[in-house]
Chains A and B, each alone.
Chain A
Amino acid sequence: MKPTHHFQAERIVAGYENKTVIHGVDIVIPSHQISVIIGSNGCGKSTLLKTLARLIKPASGTITLDGKPLNKISPKQLARVVGLLPQSPIVPEGITVTDLVGRGRFPHQSLFGNWSNKDYAAVAEAMETMKITEFANHNIDELSGGQRQRVWIAMALAQETDILFLDEPTTFLDITYQVEILDLLTDLNRKSGTTIVMVLHDINLSARYADHIVALHEGRLVAEGTPSEVVTSTLVKDIFGLDCTVIEDPVSGSPMVVPKGRYHVNV
């Protein structure tokens, strides 16, 4: 089981050159749980995730890991605790699955990066967890979108961090693969206690897979808690501007949003 960490952000303000996107967010990441950040397009959920994962420097506010500000921790040391899967990673042409997954070992390796037994074990375990061992020596170019996504997640797993951020890990994937990826991430969370924080687009999948949901609206945190506390028709109306009914998901019992459009409504 991975160690417990206290990851906290206080009053963070962040954004891009001349546009502030996050306006003072306080957040504590629950250790060993799956947290999902939800919100409409442009509400700043991806920016918040990137700020937490130190890809964007906050304009003000502090982010601390176990009481220590992130910018006081060396990049390599931090990379052993906190990992991130970017939304659109870049694939070098012609690289094999093993070599790409192996690049996740960087923060654990010394100057010249010879692979130790630990490196081999970590890469093998990451590939088994993501069920890609059969492609070990294939080129990435030969794989489908869903398989590639599993390779990227495996790279993040090989990094063996206690906390893993994922920026929309299921975008561009068919529903089958979306569920598959979310199942694999849940395996990881249950098996090794990895804390997972991700941005997801689909509110119903979020409600089903999250232990903890954080709702963001116009750069501010408007609600957080368990899915049944957060996902209500009022909240959906407030942050998405959508009229809906929230029912119980017949499969999981989690809340499920049924949107009301202007057509096909029988009430």
Chain B
Amino acid sequence: MTNPTINLIKAGRQNRRRRWMLVTSLLAVLACVLCCTMLLLGNTIYSVQDVIRALSGEPLKGVSFAVNTIRLPRMLAGLFAGFAFGIAGYTFQTMLRNPLANPNVIGITSGSSVAAVFCIIILQASGAVISVASIIGGLATVILIYLLSRGRSFSIGRLILVGIGIQAMIDAAISYLMLVSAEQDLPAAIRWLTGSLNGAQMDRLPPLMIIVVICTPIIIILGRQLSLLELGEQAATSLGVNTDKTRIVLIISSVCMIAIATATTGPIAFVSFLAGPIAIRLVGIGLSNIIPAGLVGINLVLAADLIGQFAFPYRFPVGVITGLLGAPYLIFLLIRMNRKGEL
């Protein structure tokens, strides 16, 4: 009796699934193209053969250094950080049901950033200490925002406004740390305020890679619970989701990704904010958008870095370019929320 209906449902789902596959593959291809471009382009443009030979370990004068020591780490840092920012941003936005409720807007990335800056400049620490500190900084910011925005009832509008305030305060703290430090220089300051891939080093990358490899599957496995949390606390609970546990695991996984990515590249402005909404626009909302959001994150970071490096007479760090893209969208969302009376 239900056959025509089942067929109708199947057809609709197949269409959406096909679109998901298509968009995801295109995003992956684009990411590959951008990765290759990152290796080929630079002060000198090397041939594909030279780049491949250098990558496979053949010592080539000039090429080996430029490709293996400068361009490869830069590309990998952008790749992993973009993926981490995209997925973590999407997770927060979906969990809190608002694109503004995002690590980049509500100060979580800044929290990680200030912890990393403090370790590097004041404690002269490196490696694991920075990673751990940035995770603690990110989680501490989450807790602080939660405590300050907790009123009689939970309000996302209040959480976002408190977060924006905290973000401004932390950024001021970062600026202060930069000023009092002995080795103050502009590129470093910009890295910790808006993010930059300049000076990415191979030996700094493993923590980021490890965290991404661990946390991405966790978030993907919890993807369906995440999409139920989106329907509200009550609906999720009655569908059998353990909401508190799920939320804590999701928050810790995404803050870990955000924190380590921030400790590596700085808080690349607005990537975690833009990736989710762009992915949703491209794919639709029925299926999980976690992987598409990560891929959009990669594409944003790598494309913005290439533009920053080569499109202007001066070289701009990646965060300046993504900031130019993200700020208008932030204003647009704030205006729309205000019109709807949500702020």
Q: Is B221 an interface residue (CB 8 A)?
A: yes
Q: Is the CB of B285 within 8 A of A104?
A: no
Q: Is the CB of A136 within 8 A of B5?
A: yes
Knowing A103-B228, A106-B228, A115-B13 touch, does A55 contact B241 (C-beta < 8 A)?
A: no
Q: Mark A79-95, 1 if CB is under 8 A from B, else 0.
A: 11011101011111111
Of the listed stretches A123-131, A195-203, A205-213, A247-255, chain B binds: A123-131
B285 in complex: contacting residue of A88, A94, A111, A137, CB < 8 Å: A94
Q: Is B232 an interface residue (CB 8 A)?
A: yes
Q: Mark B256-273, 1 if CB is under 8 A from A, else 0.
A: 000000000000000000
Q: Is the CB of B13 within 8 A of A98?
A: yes
Set of chain B residues within 8 Å of A121, measured between Cβ atoms: 2, 6
Set of chain B residues within 8 Å of A125, measured between Cβ atoms: 2
Task: Give residues 26-55 of A contacting B (CB, 8 Å).
Answer: 50, 53-55
Q: Is B143 an interface residue (CB 8 A)?
A: no
Docked CA distance A103–B240 (Å): 11
User: How far does the Cβ of B330 sit from chain A's closest Cβ, in whole Å?
Assistant: 18
Task: Give residues 67-88 of A contacting B (CB, 8 Å).
Answer: 74-80, 82-84, 86, 88
Provide the main secondary structure of the chain B interface.
helix
Docked CA distance A199–B144 (Å): 38
Tell me how many residues of B have a C-beta within 8 Å of chain A.
33
Q: Is A233 an interface residue (CB 8 A)?
A: no
B5 in complex: contacting residue of A54, A89, A124, A165, CB < 8 Å: A124
Q: Is A99 an interface residue (CB 8 A)?
A: yes
Task: Give residues 269-286 of B contacting A (CB, 8 Å).
Answer: 280, 284-286
Set of chain A residues within 8 Å of B224, measured between Cβ atoms: 106, 109, 113
Docked CA distance A228–B228 (Å): 41
Set of chain A residues within 8 Å of B247, measured between Cβ atoms: none
Q: Is the CB of A136 within 8 A of B232?
A: no
A93 in complex: contacting residue of B234, B235, B240, B285, CB < 8 Å: B285
Knowing A86-B235, A96-B16 touch, does A106 contact B240 (C-beta < 8 A)?
A: yes
User: How far does the Cβ of B1 sit from chain A's closest Cβ, in whole Å?
Assistant: 8
Knowing A78-B240, A99-B285, A104-B239 touch, does A120 contact B234 (C-beta < 8 A)?
A: no
Q: Is B50 an interface residue (CB 8 A)?
A: no
* A134 nearest in chain B by CB position: B8
Residue among B5, B16, B241, B284 facing the most chain A CB atoms (10 A cut-off): B5
Set of chain B residues within 8 Å of A90, measured between Cβ atoms: 97, 230-232, 235
Docked CA distance A107–B232 (Å): 16
Q: Is B227 an interface residue (CB 8 A)?
A: yes
Docked CA distance A80–B240 (Å): 8
Q: Is B53 an interface residue (CB 8 A)?
A: no
Set of chain B residues within 8 Å of A95, measured between Cβ atoms: 285-286
A–B complex contacts, Cβ < 8 Å, 13 sampled: A89-B235, A92-B227, A95-B285, A98-B13, A104-B239, A106-B241, A107-B239, A121-B6, A127-B5, A127-B9, A133-B5, A133-B8, A137-B12
Please report B residues at the A interface, Cβ cutoff 8 Å: 2, 5-6, 8-13, 15-16, 97, 221, 224, 227-228, 230-235, 237-242, 280, 284-287
Please report A residues at the B interface, Cβ cutoff 8 Å: 50, 53-55, 74-80, 82-84, 86, 88-96, 98-99, 102-104, 106-107, 109, 111-113, 115, 120-121, 123-125, 127-128, 133, 136-137, 159, 165
